[in-house]
Structure 1
Amino acid sequence: MTATPTAAGPAAPPARAVLSRDELHGSLSDPLLDQMTFLNEVTLRYPDAVSFAPGRPYEGLFDPDDVPAAFAAYLAHLGDTLGLGPEAVRERIFQYGRTKGFINDLIAGQLRRDEGISVDPEAIVVTAGAQEAMLLVLRALCAGPDDVLLVASPCYVGITGAARLLDIAVVPVPEAPGGGLDPEALAQAVRDQRAAGRRPRACYLVPDFANPSGASLSVPARRRLLDVAAETGLLLIEDDPYGFFALDGRARPTLKALDTGGRVIHIGSYAKTCFPGARIGYVIADQAVAGPAGAGLLADELAKLKSMTTVNTSALGQAVVGGMLLRCDLSLRAANQAVAAFYADNLRTVLAELAGAFPPDRKHAHGVSWNLPEGGFFVVVGVPFTADEQAMERCAREHGVLWTPMAGFYPAGGGQRLLRLSCSYLTTNQIRVGIERLAAFIAAERGRETAAPS
């Protein structure tokens, strides 16, 4: 039935619903989420600026022809190696698929070859990127309001953001002066939280070339960290996106490879090494879970959660990444040698250009400092002014260069005079131009600070 206009004219449309922000989840008003939105928008507003902001892989390292070739390799594997017929292949590729994933055996083989990690494929859950793995792990581990997550500080905003979405309290643990999470500070944080009536469930860290600090844990510190975890009954959530990208080319043992007590939940991703757009990550959750129905794996519990979120991980994405693993005989470390050399050259260029722009006398006079990462994508620069969003936008507008403020990476505050440079998404020539522009901006900001009335 259609409405009949009256003599007074058509009826006014109903008022549109207006939602109160106060009635939405508190995370939507969190400055952390606003900061990430701002960074995305400011990059679009200044497309010609040299951007040290994104920690994404360099697109020139990818060949579109590799995608169909990898897909074909996986299809051949299904038929020739696994002996699947056309109907089974069709189902594997086109249907939703198993919640845990279907390239688990290939991931297990790659981890065995590259990292010396021996794990049952059933202890692996293939996820929609490492970010989903973080959400699943946090949701499974943290059961009540007194549960807290410890994090290395400064910390990747993906994990603190996930904790905020899940209303999980985050407790920062400082990095040691030499770099990486301080094991003794972690032990003290566990004691302090328990004394306060809270239950520390796990500690999140990136042992190799962490985002944002670039810091790495020494092997003795890794072993001590595992001892602390065993002594305190804590789990360690290890995130390992950058382990292949050491300046010296040497492989460092992951915490999971050193773990003999089942204390490490290991998160990995193929975004930096294979295909970022496929959004394929994984989590090794081989811890036993006991209950009335018997014992199982933590991976099985994570799969239950995944079945109510993303249901399963893209079959096409898994097939392409699986094919890429097959084509390199399950050794990404060998296959990524040229990629690792590219990123190492970029990192050396950033450090060399900073040293050239700020020789010792000028470095001291300008109040500038920077760390010396042993690999990865990131360098942290200390500056003599507040490196906030307003300063970054001035830098983009007036000097044509972008970077990331560090303050958002400190859960308890701090980092106001620090900025992060990512060297992964640029050529060496862009890096040289960008550091020259950054140096000019730092000099200009120092002048502004000096000229400001006291």
Structure 2
Amino acid sequence: MVELSRESLHVSVVDPVSASMNFLNEVAGRFPEAISLAAGRPFDEFHAVSDVDKHLQAYLTHLRERGLGPARSRQLLTQYGRTNGHIGDLIARMLDVDENIQVPAAAVMVTAGCQEAMVVALRGLCARPGDVVLAAEPCYVGLTGAARILGVEVVPVPESPDGLRPETVREVAAQTRASGREPKALYLVPNFANPSGVSLPVATRRALLDVAAETGLLILEDDPYGLFGLDDEPRPTLKSLDADQRVIYLGSFAKSYFPGARVGFLVADQAVVDAAGRRTLLAEELSTVKSMLTVNTSALSQAVVGGMLIDSGFSLRGANQAKIAFYRQNLRTLLAGLEHEFTGGPIRWNSPSGGFFVVVDVPVDATEELLEVSAREYGVLWTPMRFFYVGGGGTHAIRLSCSALEPPQIEEGVRRLAALLRA
């Protein structure tokens, strides 16, 4: 029998953060009755299997209206397809309707979830030893995990309580270059970030674009939660404010449609010029990277998502009104529960203006061992914030998520958490 040394495997295999996230899933599996304030997935009841066929038929009707016969439609859905996908034009229309982002369909790459979009973007941009990516910290583990697989260093840019500060980005970029490394891009989630819940003011977004231009950075804007504000206040994406094509926009249909479709996208409309002066779009150049990862994104999944976009009039905002109302109620329930259980004590938390997540500062070390006790003895799960720090941090904080539960479960989960922390 072959035996391999665990230490001989790539760092991404033995990564402690990835192992910790696996531990969280394992604990949830061992204690299925525990209320999970850890899971950031969408609420199950919004997803109907019947919608798959409904939206597939809508897309087939769309193809017929475009003049595609049965044989060509069958081939489009059942064969290998165009690497960058076949619904880029529909996604571009949705971005125009919902986000005031105008890009050509050729600038859209349809990916196997937003996770693939991150891998493709990082691999394409970080080409040489010493090329690094800056990231707002605490940072979504999907980005740090993707970078670790690729051997790309992530340099953290610490968030303030109000989110990322442009002057901090400028300082970290300068320090990174002074150390001999080259920062290629800045990753951030400007709307209700995972895990911090912070949303950036419009003035900060504009200032970040100015700093990116000044420091020669591209921006990787990840926006899975932008629909789910507590109010209808406009929160323009950085991409919609982007006057000089400095932003690569990363999107997903996981929260706005359903995660099982595994359809995400990136928008990369930056011009690429070769030695002979020929010009292409960055999305087209990155297709070579994607072709070696997944060949192409599932044509059937694209068709189902395309049908949903057609049926919704190309407005995810319009199609998600029930979800928006539900997640607003859930976040308000979570914040009210924290207020009821912890006001006047040593526990502190932030109050996001939307999204799925709240960060709670606790007067104990929020370890995996404590999480195990919490699940076994108190019946509640949460996520240690230390998972979201590159170089250490978040030891006395936890992330709570309210997306996958109904309000009574959220209230009971907070009561159980309060019992744990009192003990």
TM-score, normalized by length of structure 1? 0.92
Distance 1:424 1:368 in 2: 22
Unaligned runs of 5+ in 1: 1-15, 445-454
Query: Who is 1:259 aligned against?
Result: 242
Q: Contact 1:289 / 1:296 at 8 angstroms: preserved in 2?
A: yes
Query: Who is 1:73 aligned against?
Result: 58
User: Could you give the per-residue CA deviations for residues 357-388 of structure 1, whole angstroms, max 9, x where no partner exists?
Assistant: 1122xx2xxx2000000000000011110011
Q: Contact 2:368 / 2:384 at 8 angstroms: preserved in 1?
A: yes
Distance 2:126 2:202 in 1: 29
2:391 is the alignment partner of 1:412: yes
Q: Contact 1:137 / 1:302 at 8 angstroms: preserved in 2?
A: yes
Distance 2:231 2:203 in 1: 19
Distance 1:350 1:415 in 2: 21
Shift of 1:176: 2.3
Q: Contact 1:243 / 1:251 at 8 angstroms: preserved in 2?
A: no
User: Could you give the per-residue CA deviations for residues 60-100 of structure 1, whole angstroms, max 9, x where no partner exists?
Assistant: 112222111101000010002x1101111011111111000
Q: Contact 2:330 / 2:402 at 8 angstroms: preserved in 1?
A: yes
Distance 1:371 1:161 in 2: 26
Query: Who is 2:308 aligned against?
Result: 324
Distance 2:327 2:312 in 1: 20
Match of 2:352 among 362, 366, 373: 373
Q: Contact 2:42 / 2:258 at 8 angstroms: preserved in 1?
A: no
Query: Who is 2:48 aligned against?
Result: 63
Query: Who is 2:206 aligned against?
Result: 223
Identity %, equivalent residues = 58
2:268 is the alignment partner of 1:268: no
Q: Contact 2:130 / 2:181 at 8 angstroms: preserved in 1?
A: yes
- In structure 1, give the amino acid aligned to 2:222: D
**Mapping of residues 61-140 of structure 1, within 5 Å:** 61-80=46-65, 82-140=66-124
Distance 1:304 1:42 in 2: 39
Distance 1:270 1:19 in 2: 39
Distance 1:317 1:52 in 2: 29
Distance 1:336 1:149 in 2: 33
Q: Using CA pairs under 8 Å that are at least 6 residues apart, name the structure with larger relative contact order, 1 or 2.
A: 2
Query: Who is 2:412 aligned against?
Result: 433
2:225 is the alignment partner of 1:242: yes
Q: Report how many residues are paired.
A: 422
Give structure 1 regions of 4+ aligned residues with deviation exceeding 6 angstroms. Answer: none
- In structure 1, give the amino acid aligned to 2:325: A
Distance 1:251 1:313 in 2: 32
Query: Who is 1:34 aligned against?
Result: 19
TM-score, normalized by length of structure 2? 0.99
User: Could you give the per-residue CA deviations for residues 329-376 of structure 1, whole angstroms, max 9, x where no partner exists?
Assistant: 10110111110110010000000011011122xx2xxx2000000000
Distance 2:395 2:10 in 1: 27
Name the SS for the 2:190 alignment partner: coil
Distance 2:203 2:108 in 1: 27
- In structure 2, give the amino acid aligned to 1:180: G
User: Could you give the per-residue CA deviations for residues 164-206 of structure 1, whole angstroms, max 9, x where no partner exists?
Assistant: 11111111001123x2211110001111111111100001000
Q: Contact 1:50 / 1:400 at 8 angstroms: preserved in 2?
A: yes
**Mapping of residues 327-406 of structure 1, within 5 Å:** 327-360=311-344, 363=345, 367-406=346-385
Distance 2:347 2:190 in 1: 26
Unaligned runs of 5+ in 2: none
Q: Contact 2:195 / 2:357 at 8 angstroms: preserved in 1?
A: yes
User: Could you give the per-residue CA deviations for residues 289-315 of structure 1, whole angstroms, max 9, x where no partner exists?
Assistant: 111252211101211111111000001
RMSD: 0.8
Distance 1:17 1:49 in 2: 39
- In structure 1, give the amino acid aligned to 2:194: N
2:284 is the alignment partner of 1:305: no
